[in-house]
Structure 1
Amino acid sequence: MLLLLLLFMWCVGEILVNYRIVKKKGLLFDDRFTKTICMAIASISSFATALYLELLLPDIQMATYLLPIILGVCIGWRFGSLIKAPASLNGLYNGAIGGVMGMMPGAVLKNPALCNIPLESNSLIESNLFILTIFIAFSHSLVCFFIRYSMRG
């Protein structure tokens, strides 16, 4: 549980750092490059935050289903606001889809019976949870690193 909370805070920190960098240096690049950057960061960030929220929240149906989607839409909206008008809806779309897609593996990790996965031991479920969450944190950090690297200039 502590690892999930630390990974969630790491994810939020990466989002804030990348938003600040993209907002500050976004005017230096053309709209096509900025759109690609915002699409990538909105989708992976909303995926990762939705996964961590799904695993951290208790099994209250309404909060569990709505909060990750709303957070994904907010992330997509913030990054989409950096793009000019018609393309800014792209950020909302990518944030919402990332939020929905992040909820799916979180729900399956909490209850493998949803997909008819026969896991008898709790240790196997916990090891799968840690492996997947660390992999998502690594993937999110890698995408954020590439975005920061591409914004150098």
Structure 2
Amino acid sequence: MSQFLFVLFCLNGVIGLLFYVVMYKKRKLFTDRFGMVMAMVGSGILSFNLAMMLFFMFPFNLGTLAIISTMVGGGIGILYGALTRFQSLLAGFSQGSLGAIMGTMFGAVVENPALCGLPAAYFIDVEQHMMLFSLFGTGLVISTFGLLFYSLRV
């Protein structure tokens, strides 16, 4: 299962990098408003999914993973926000950090359903749920970036 999660983690990283490269090449075509929306949406979704998969892959405690994920999400947000002006930089950083924190918390709930008071029957399929949510998150990243690509053409 860890190999599956690692492959999905790398796939999400490559998708995020390709999205950044395409948007960097087309940064003169869009306005500051679209740049801010792109930085917020792209960094939020990508950092949410990467933080969730980081929590699934590494057996550290919650505090350590939250700090690492927040730094990674903030870095992604700064990277995407740097495509336009200073306002987008701040918006991307905040949205990337918030997405990473939410992804870490969501990963903690999926791995330990008792945190939300879910019944003990959910403990049986924890690995299956981890794989399912990782696949769903990857699909969400692909569809979000596809919509952002499409919005450049319209």
Same fold (TM over 0.5): yes
Tell me by how many angstroms 1:63 deviates. Answer: 2.8
Q: Which residue of 1 aligns with 2:60?
A: 59
Bigger CA drift: 45-54 or 59-68? Answer: 59-68
SS in 2 for 1:117: coil
Cα separation, 2, equivalents of 1:34 and 1:3: 33
- 3-state DSSP class of the match of 1:77? helix
- Alignment-derived partner of residue 40 in structure 1: 41
The farther-off stretch of 139-148 and 94-103 is 139-148
> For the Cα contact (< 8 Å) 1:68–1:103, is it kept in 2?
yes
CA RMSD of aligned residues (A): 1.7
* Secondary structure of the corresponding residue to residue 26 of structure 1: coil
Instruction: Show the counterpart of 1:87.
Output: 88
Native 8 Å contact 2:35 2:81 kept in 1: no
Give the TM-score normalised by the residue count of structure 2.
0.91
1:2-34 CA distance string (max 9 Å, x none): 211111011100110000111110111111122
1:8-62 deviation per Cα after TM superposition (whole angstroms, max 9, x unaligned) = 0111001100001111101111111222112110110110111111111113344
The residue identity in structure 2 corresponding to 1:74 is G
Judged with a 3 Å threshold, the aligned counterparts in structure 2 of structure 1 residues 126 and 23 are, in CA distance, closer, same or farther, namely same
- Determine the structure 2 residue equivalent to 1:22: 23
| 1:29 partner SS | coil
Per-residue deviation, 1:152: 4.1
CA distance in 2, matches of 1:21, 1:134: 24
- The code of the aligned residue for 2:31 comes to D
* Corresponding position of 1:2: 3
C-alpha deviation, 1:65, in angstroms:
2.0
Residue type of the partner of 1:136? Answer: G
| Runs of 4 or more above 4 Å deviation | none
Task: Note if contact 1:22-1:151 (Cα within 8 Å) is conserved in structure 2.
Answer: no
Cα distance in structure 2, aligned partners of 1:62 and 1:101 = 13
1:85-130 Cα distance to aligned partner (Å, 9 max, x none)? 2332111110111011111110112211211212346542222222
Query: Unpaired runs of 5+ in structure 2?
Result: none
**How high is the TM-score relative to the length of structure 1?**
0.91
How many residue pairs match? The answer is 153
Distance, in Å, in 2 between the alignment partners of 1:87 and 1:31 is 8
Amino acid in structure 2 at the alignment position of 1:13: V
Q: 2: CA distance between counterparts of 1:28 and 1:73?
A: 25
CA 1:107–1:61: 2 relative to 1, 3 Å: closer
Unaligned runs of 5+ in 1: none
Cα pair distance change 1:30/1:7, threshold 3 Å: same
